[in-house]
Structure 1
């Protein structure tokens, strides 16, 4: 009798397992399908990404080739297309486009526009584009305008471009005759522990020139009083 009960229990257990399997089977199959499709989709997306990177690199190389051949019209069109796309080379293409516009086609305004567009991106190449644009526009800006333009660099944590920005502002102050402001900024650069040797050396040369001007001014004033 006990054997019969055991067989019934096993049959019921098997039947119950079968019922459970029938319930969960669609989800199991669905899960496997999703897993397979997911892996396939990932591989496809990875392949597409690789293809996209290859295409972007090919396009950039074609633009560089045109530039090296002094085909500025073609280089302008190719670099412009890359710079205005979502390509990983977009910011770098903006730098090259500015070079084409300025050196190849002699269009300073277009070069500034290309650099300003590149400066609107993220990363160090964007900051360099802003610095280049400031160099091209410095002669048309006041010290305050130049300082405002370079604020993203001046307020950043990185020291690489900060002192180049300070140097440019100091030079503009000197050019406009604001010698006190120029001296203040050049002194700050010359005493900095973070500024590069080249920037510090130029600041010291500028300070020496300011000292000479001050001496000449003092001499002229003395001669004027004597006369």
Structure 2
């Protein structure tokens, strides 16, 4: 008798499972299909993004090769065509295109483009500050002291990664304006910072020598 009851119980369970499967099978299969399709779609999207990144990287390197060969106008044209590239390449292309303007001798246009990047809130703060510094160096030969300082003074403080270059620009702007004392103060700040890159320190020493020769206050003879 026990065997009969077990068989009946098993038949009932199978019948119940069969009814449940018949009821929910379309949903289960649909979810499974969506999972498979979603995974395949994501993999396809990843592959597409990787291909776009590779294409953009190749285009950027090709533009750099043109620039290295002295074909600045051609390089700038190629870089301008990268406005719709993936990832960070459009911004990199804008920065390099601005540098190519300077290489072509149009420093004013380069400053204008770097200023545009510095004011572009879609760019990261690091890239915006880098654009400020690049514009600041170029503007030393184009604009008055106050205009140069207005660009880079914000970058001179604290532990900012670009503070060394910004301080150099401030020192040069003061020196060119005939303010030897302020220039000397900036030189001292550059030299006191143990993290200042060697090339900036070396240029600061040259400026220090010029200031000393001119008899600037606070500079050792």
TM-score by length of 1: 0.77
Which portions of structure 1, spanning 4 or more consecutive aligned residues, are displaced by more than 6 angstroms? none
Aligned to 1:108: 107
- Contact 2:67-2:100 at 8 Å conserved across structures: yes
Aligned to 2:199: 198
Q: 1:19 to 1:178 in 2, by over 3 A?
A: same
Aligned to 1:182: 183
Q: Which residues of structure 1 form unaligned runs of 5+?
A: 217-227
* Rg (Cα) greater in structure: 1
Whole-Å separation in 1 of the counterparts to 2:200 and 2:38? 54
After superposing the two structures, state which structure 1 stretch, 192-201 or 38-47, moved more.
Answer: 192-201
Q: Which residues of structure 2 form unaligned runs of 5+?
A: none
1:74 positional shift? 3.3
Residue by residue over 1:86-105, the C-alpha shift from the partner in whole angstroms, topping out at 9 and shown as x without a partner, is 4332233224312432323x
- Contact 2:79-2:97 at 8 Å conserved across structures: yes
1:127 positional shift? 4.1
Aligned to 1:214: 215
Query: What aligned pairs does 1:50-89 form with structure 2 within 5 A after superposition?
Result: 50-68=50-68, 70-82=70-82, 84-87=83-86, 88-89=88-89
1:118 positional shift? 4.5
Q: 1:75 to 1:40 in 2, by over 3 A?
A: same
Structure 2 residue matching 1:63: 3-state secondary structure: helix
TM-score by length of 2: 0.78
Whole-Å separation in 2 of the counterparts to 1:157 and 1:176? 27
Whole-Å separation in 1 of the counterparts to 2:207 and 2:67? 37
Aligned to 2:163: 162
CA RMSD of aligned residues (A): 2.9
Whole-Å separation in 1 of the counterparts to 2:198 and 2:65? 36
Structure whose residues are more often helix by fraction: 1
Whole-Å separation in 1 of the counterparts to 2:153 and 2:25? 62
Paired residue for 2:140, among 131, 138, 145? 138
- Contact 1:189-1:203 at 8 Å conserved across structures: yes
